[in-house]
Amino acid sequence: MNTNTALQQDRHLSLETRPCSRGFEEFRDVLINDGNISRYSAKCQNANTNNVIGSSIVRSGKTFVITSITGGIVEETLSANNEDDVGEEELITLSEGSNRLAKNASVHPVVEIQRGRVGGPTDEEMITSERLHKTLLHSGILKKTALRVLCGVRRTDENGKTTKIYSDEILEEERKISESNNRRWSYVLYAKIQVFSRNGPIFDLCWNSLISALKSVQLPRAFLDERAADLKIAVRTRGRSMTIRETYDILCDPEKSLPLQLNQHELGYGSNYGIIDIDPLAQLAKEENEMDVDKPTSVLLADIETEAEESSIYSKLSLITNKDGQFKSATIIGGGSKITPEMIKRCISLSKERSKDIESKI
């Protein structure tokens, strides 16, 4: 960084203000809405061609993040005869009990930061995507069971009229139809996160945007055609006969959908902090008789913004918590300035406040 801007920043800080004219512990204003992008948005105009199932636009200061969530369906691999083999079932449940992560699911985020260049993803984009993916996986916000497809069956009667039957809506005698196919599918969620006007660390912004987009996700109901539901083709190769089961064509119901179940009490929102020493030489003595001007004082800055702050602050904290202080992620990087326990405590209470504020806006 230019020495001039560093000096300028130090002067600003010694006057208890920041180059971006915010106070030390002042956050940028946050605006959150769903941007009317998803097919389930209240004012959606193009529900018939739109495949976005959840969205959000988060604006913080000048920076804005557009997240759109799309989905896919993947067939789960099951053991060949899982119904009969009780022992194996037991084994699976046993091992899953000790492996908490196996129950958690995540989304597949792709972060793109607009920077006026073309080409492959930058380090920051890759790191942010990876961090979002891992943090969501470990947070337990999204469970695998929430992504299970409750597959229905579409019937076409002799008049060409179609009806769709979902196993949790039907009567008991019809239930066995849908149970006849013992396959399982689950939804896969993809998040496309686009960052515009980046002027500071983006991880917490992307996280907040991802969470608010996930909150708006509606999973469409999926169904099979009844005729295809139990289709088996006998084939004979090299003297051996076997049956190949048709790969099903799962279609989604254009009208019916279920909201994505998130673990509400696990939800947390992100914020970031930086700690910087003010160079004693740059300090402007507030009072003439002030004695200890030679001692460097360090200050805590909330919500790092502008290149000047980003490039001169090496001690950073990034926290994800809910308003009750239940932490989902905490990253503390010490470099340059000393991070004292008091500062960490202050960050924790600030992040709770921030989280409360963001939660009220979603």
Partner 1 sequence: MSVQDRRRILGPAEAKPLRFAVDSETSIPEEGRTDDKKTGKESVFISTDLVTNANGSSYLEYMDGNSDQVLVMSSVFGPRPLRGSFQSKASVSIQFKEVTLEHFNTGEIKEICTFLTNVFNAVINIEKYPKSGIDIFIDLIQHSNSNPAEEENIIKILPTCINSITMALVDAGIEIIDLVSAGSVDNSVVAFIRNGHEIVGIWSDDDKVSDISRLIEDCRVKYLQNKQTLVQYLR
Nearer to partner 1, 35 or 274 (CB): 35
Report, in Å, the least distance between residue 84 CB and partner 1.
26
Nearer to partner 1, 308 or 347 (CB): 308
Site for partner 1 in 129-188 (CB under 8 A): 129-130, 133, 154, 162, 188
Of 143, 136, 232, residue with least CA distance to 183: 232
Positive or negative torsion for Cα 90, 91, 96, 99: positive
Stretch that binds partner 1, among 9-17, 45-53, 270-278, 341-349 (CB under 8 A): 45-53
Question: What tokens does 247 get?
Answer: 């790969």
190 binds partner 1 (CB under 8 A): yes
Q: How far apart are CA 166 and CA 39, in angstroms?
A: 22
115 binds partner 1 (CB under 8 A): yes
Three-state DSSP class for residue 228: helix
Choosing from 79, 82, 180, 197, the residue that interacts with partner 1 (CB under 8 A) is: 197
46 binds partner 1 (CB under 8 A): yes
Judge whether 223 and 154 are in contact, CB under 8 Å.
yes
Of 203, 145, 153, residue with least CA distance to 331: 203
> Would you state the torsion angle of the CA atoms of residues 264, 218, 138, 326, taken in this order, to the nearest 10 degrees?
-20
Q: Is 9 exposed, middle or buried (0-12, 13-18, 19+ CB in 10 A)?
A: buried
Cα 287 → chain centroid: 49
String marking each residue 250-289 x if it binds partner 1 according to CB under 8 A? xxxxxx----------------------------------
Nearer to partner 1, 70 or 331 (CB): 70
Of 318, 306, 309, residue with least CA distance to 350: 318
Nearer to partner 1, 7 or 47 (CB): 47
Contacting residues toward partner 1, per CB under 8 A? 35-37, 44-53, 55, 62, 66, 68, 70-75, 108-110, 114-118, 120-121, 126, 129-130, 133, 154, 162, 188, 190, 192, 194, 196-199, 220, 222-223, 249-255
